Structure 1
Amino acid sequence: MRNAISFFTLLLLTVCLSAGSAQDKPMSANEARAAFDKADHALNAAWAAARQALPETDFNKLKEDQRAWVEYRDYLARSPMYTGVDAQGDLALDSPAYLEAAAGLEDMRSEWLKGLIHEWKDEALTGYWTDSYGGSMEVVEREGHLHFVIQCVRGPTSHVGGLSGIAAWNSTIGWFSDKGRDKDKTDETNLSFILRDKKLEVIGANTGYYHGARAYFDGGYVKVKALDAKAQAKIVKAAKSGEVPEE
């Protein structure tokens, strides 16, 4: 796999995925319950704000996506492999390991929901995006191009991936190709970017060269924060070089 994801990035993304992945000192039962209750309260608040802000048809679509996300949360947070605990079978919903992991995942989803309804003063796509399923993307929009770095950690076994490049951008549609980047690579990799209702939908073709077995880049990404000038310069440099940056 070219552009291997850095150790720092893997660590950062894994922490973003879950506060409950294997740690040297796991939370106590009371700490895990408190962390989950706090995250759950924030998620409910973000959900209520989305329900108030979105048109009924859009919110109905979001409800379907939220049901799928809840299944994803429990699939990961109940996995002994994901949480790093020694257990047979799925973890109980009241176990400290589940509560701790679920809290981290809910924090990520809350940010996604808030980003979905946030009104950015700068309408450019420049910013940090997440799909709330373990995928993140940094984008700098300049002169009809998207300079991007996309990275992901997927599934309980933490399959990782990373790809950077420059996509042509035309209003709401973007297209990336790695053709000619590596003379030893025979299959062309493509990413399409489609902007719909504040989501930047990413669809990939022949992307396996850049990620592990299940670490797909596809997803509905939402802008959750801006990028300062230093961060933008770093992303542009990485996109031009085709290398995923290391910290």
Structure 2
Amino acid sequence: MRFLLSSASLLLLAFSLLSKTSEPADPCSKIKNKNDQKKCYMNEYQVADKQLNLTYKKIREGLSDPEKEDLKKLQVLWIGYRDGICEGPMYSSDESGIETIICKTGTTIERTKYLHHVWKFSTVSKEGLGSYTDGFGGSLKLFRDTSSNEIQFSLEVVRGPTAHLGEVSGNWTPAKEAKWIWASTPGCNSEDPDCCLLEFQYFQNRIEVEEISCSAYHGARAYFGGSYRYEFKQKK
């Protein structure tokens, strides 16, 4: 399978992402009593959750009604995504529940950053070059190849509590109509197990991706489909 050939680099990515949420944070890790330590981590989570709610409400104030509905739907999906990871097999073996709390704190902080970086409505370059994220472990990048001067895309995903991975890349050559289909091999179809077919639709600040057929390029529980929003760079 094509996916297996490129999984090594993604394993490193998955490990780095997941280790960030499981690494104990000071000062709670220095507390010896488990009950007191758990209370400390819970306080950190509550602070992170409060900050996320404040950020969410502030961003909603500047959105149109349809945009508010989109954000609400994505936020509900994210809560399920967070709980699926943090309450999944990677953390459930910890009977104290501390690892789950740490995971939820980390993912909540990352979600707040996501809302700050992504849910803005500044102007994107005409070609749309840059990084996009779906907020669920999916990363889409558009860049110009220096040797061919053509625009390329790369799409990487790390999905679910067991970190199923996927990676695909190719030429970014959208058709004039709103939607266009990218094929890993010209003329291949969904009946071909090695064929990857992705439907792209470009909007201002976001790219919608629908996976028609691409199972050879990702793990069993991974997927490429999603709403990828542009990541604006932070001002220093």
TM-score normalized with structure 1 length: 0.72
- Which one has the largest radius of gyration? 2
* Alignment counterpart, residue 96 of structure 1, candidates 87, 93, 98: 98
Q: Distance in 2 between matches of 1:12 and 1:104?
A: 16
Q: How many residues align?
A: 216
Hey, what's the Cα distance between the residues in 2 that align with 1:16 and 1:117?
Answer: 24
Q: Does 2:129 correspond to 1:126?
A: yes
The answer for the alignment partner of 1:65 in structure 2 is 74
2:184 aligned to which of 161, 178, 189 = 178
Give the percent of matched residue pairs that are identical in Structure 1 and Structure 2. 26
Deviation at 1:8, TM superposition (A): 4.8
After the TM superposition, list the runs of 4 or more consecutive aligned residues in structure 1 that deviate by more than 4 angstroms.
25-28, 141-146
Shift of 1:147: 1.1
Amino acid aligned to 1:179: T
Aligned to 2:90: 82
Counterpart of 2:49 in structure 1 is: 40
Cα RMSD for the two superposed structures: 3.4
Deviations 1:42-72 (A, max 9, x none): 4224312321121123202321221222122
SS in 2 for 1:125: coil
Counterpart amino acid of residue 111 in structure 2: R
**From 160, 165, 168, the counterpart of 2:165:** 160
Q: Does 2:223 correspond to 1:216? A: yes
For 1:63, what is the secondary structure of its paired residue? helix
1:188 to partner: Cα distance: 2.6
Q: Would the alpha carbon gap of residues 12 and 188 (structure 1) be closer, same or farther in structure 2, given more than 3 Å must change?
A: closer
* 8 Å contact from structure 2 (residues 10, 166) kept in 1: no
Cα distance change, pair 200–136 in 1 and its aligned pair in 2 (3 A): same
Gaps of 5+ in 1: 227-247
Task: Please tell me the residue identity of whatever aligns with 1:82.
Answer: M
State the AA in 2 paired with 1:47: Y
TM-superposed deviation, 1:225: 4.0
- Is the 8 Å Cα contact of residues 14 and 21 (structure 1) preserved in structure 2? no
Aligned residue for 2:153? 148
For residues 198 and 180 of structure 1, do their structure 2 counterparts lie closer, same or farther at Cα, with a shift above 3 Å needed? Answer: closer
**Structure 1, 171-180 or 190-199: larger mean CA deviation:** 171-180
Distance 1:17 1:203, change over 3 A: farther
